[in-house]
Amino acid sequence: MKKVLVVFGGNSPEYEVSCSSAASVIEAIDKDVYEVYRLGITRDNEWYLTVASYDEINDSVGWTKRSDNRSALLSPSKNVNGLIVFDEDKIVEKIDIDVVLPILHGENGEDGTMQGLFELGEYAYVGSDVCASACSMDKVVTRLFADVINMKQPECYYVEPSLVKTDADKYAKEADEYFDGEYPLFVKPSKTGSSVGISKVENIQELKDAMLLASDFDGKVMVEEAIIGKEIKVAVMGKGEDIEVGEVCEIIVKGHIFNDFELKYKGSGTHKEIPAHLAPETTEKIKEAAKEIYRVLGCKGLSRVDFFLTDNDEIYFNEINTIPGISNKSIFSLMFEKKGLSYSDMINRLIAAEVK
């Protein structure tokens, strides 16, 4: 029986999202084919091999309180390849792993750092490699790839966080002038997901405050024009020429400023329209655009690509997430489910594609 290591949690603002996704994924893995191991990483970057239940992992807290958790790490050494388990700082067990399934959203998991560890230890793993993960995580870098394929994007001004903290008034004024004083604008850190640290602003004072907020996160501070239109998402799986997309999703936000973190994961003011009610030719253009950015970045495994669609059917690339939320209720999963691929089949297909 092949051994699958699901890695979840992590020192990231998206820790809770990771735990929720991992709980669903572990439930969906075919236990007749795979032996599943759970490697949880706390907010403080403590690594534990755990036998926690769905509920304990899903609530993001219960699993950390188990007395039978054992300290563990994934060895980067080719000579000592496997999951190393400790008891009072003594190695007590080495578990060979056939494939790693990282369910780590945001920094320290989706940005190439963990993928580098997998590469060093020569582990088979689900998802994009170091380069594709790092380039996709940094929205400023991702924009360069979109430019290469002439993909439309919102106008953008960006600046180093240290400069904003040194003189926020100067750089808020500079950004304001860049957009000729036209609002609304969106301010975001370049390396977060799930809308963490993102603000919609209507004037220069709000712009300054939002830039200071974004400067507390890793990466650059980005200021983008607001594209008026539909928020569109596309789920992508596979690699090379063997790429599959799910049904296109439109996010309809009701009575809220924008689809921020609170609304995505704790609110009820959004409606997911899957498949989106779009003209067939528009749907195909969006799907092809998703495949194109996925390919040019060198992604594999899975990604969710986000766009804006104007009333004139102009497609604007927003961002790509190489490890999107993949609980059984997530947008990514629902887009493939609406295409006829069940959640459990989707998860097991992702694993099977990487098992050697």
Exposed, middle or buried: residue 133 (CB in 10 Å: 0-12, 13-18, 19+)? buried
The span from the CA of 75 to the CA of 98, in Å, is 13
pLDDT of residue 196: 75
Q: Is the pLDDT of residue 166 over 70?
A: yes
pLDDT tens profile 275-285? 999 999 999 99
Sorting pLDDT into bands at 50, 70 and 90, what band is 263? very low
pLDDT tens profile 108-160? 899 999 999 999 999 999 999 999 999 999 999 999 999 999 999 999 999 99
**β-strand 315-321 against 270-273: which pairing, if any?**
unpaired
- Three-state DSSP class for 237? strand
**β-strand 2-9 against 99-103: which pairing, if any?**
parallel
The span from the CA of 122 to the CA of 74, in Å, is 11
Question: Measured between alpha carbons, how far is residue 94 from residues 90, 91, 108, 138, 311 in Å?
Answer: 12, 8, 24, 35, 57
pLDDT of residue 12: 86
Q: What stretches of the chain adopt beta strand conformation (E)?
A: 2-9, 34-41, 47-50, 70-74, 83-87, 90-95, 99-103, 156-159, 185-189, 199-201, 221-225, 230-239, 242-245, 249-253, 270-273, 301-309, 315-321
pLDDT of residue 265: 44
Superfamily of domain 136-152+228-322: ATP-grasp fold, B domain (3.30.470.20)
pLDDT of residue 191: 87
Q: Which of 103, 60, 106 is nearest to 217 (CA)?
A: 106
pLDDT of residue 232: 98
Domain ranges of the chain: 2-127, 136-152+228-322, 156-225
260 vs 292, higher pLDDT = 292
Instruction: Give me the phi and psi of 276, to 5 degrees please.
Output: -65, 145
Q: Which of 282, 290, 276, 285 is nearest to 248 (CA)?
A: 276
CATH of 156-225, one of 3.30.1490.20, 3.40.630.10, 3.40.50.720, 3.40.50.300: 3.30.1490.20
The chain-wide mean pLDDT, for the chain, equals 93
CA atoms within 13 A on the CB side of 119: 11
Sorting pLDDT into bands at 50, 70 and 90, what band is 241? confident
Q: Is the pLDDT of residue 258 over 70?
A: no
Q: Decide if 307 contacts 315 (C-beta within 8 A).
A: yes
pLDDT tens profile 2-35? 999 999 999 888 899 999 999 999 999 999 999 9
For domain 2-127, give the fold. Rossmann fold (3.40.50)
Q: Is the pLDDT of residue 346 over 90?
A: yes
Give pTM, 2 decimals: 0.91
pLDDT of residue 287: 98
Beta bridge partners of 70: 49
Sorting pLDDT into bands at 50, 70 and 90, what band is 264? very low
pLDDT tens profile 286-339? 999 999 999 999 999 999 999 999 999 999 999 999 999 999 999 999 999 999
- Three-state DSSP class for 66? coil
